[in-house]
Amino acid sequence: MTKHLGQELFIQVEDPETADTYVDFCGISSTDFSMGPEMVDRIIPECEGDRTTPAQVTKRAGNIDLSFTGSGIAEINTRTTAIFDAARTGVTLNFKVTVPNYGSFTGPAYVKITFTGNTNEDLAISAEFGWESVPTWAAAA
């Protein structure tokens, strides 16, 4: 079993100055990538016997969710300014999420930025991303 550090799961954004080149989202130190179906409740009422007993609840697969988030210290530079502008104006940017030893997901995504600040502490940032369309998946080499 191959083990990986959390820092190997990373979020990159397309370089605003060089198309098809992806650079790290500066300041992000914690990432989360979730994939899988939404769990939809399937409620099966009692049809024979005591109808007052609680219904059985099972699950079925719903829509496939591919979502990612990141958080860390807010770095204000050319790259992050483009991301902040995309959040402010509601446009997409091209992002790439790499899952170590599995592959990468690439495509346009919307981003929602939250800044958090406490007195005498670094300005923190959290970012939530939503793919505009199904991202391109590439298996790890």
The model's pLDDT over 70-94, given as tens digits with 9 standing for 90+, comes to 999 988 887 788 899 999 999 999 9
Distance CA 136, CA 80 (A): 23
pTM of the full structure: 0.81
Per residue in 1-24, pLDDT tens? Answer: 678 877 888 899 998 788 889 998
Amino acid identity of 54?
P
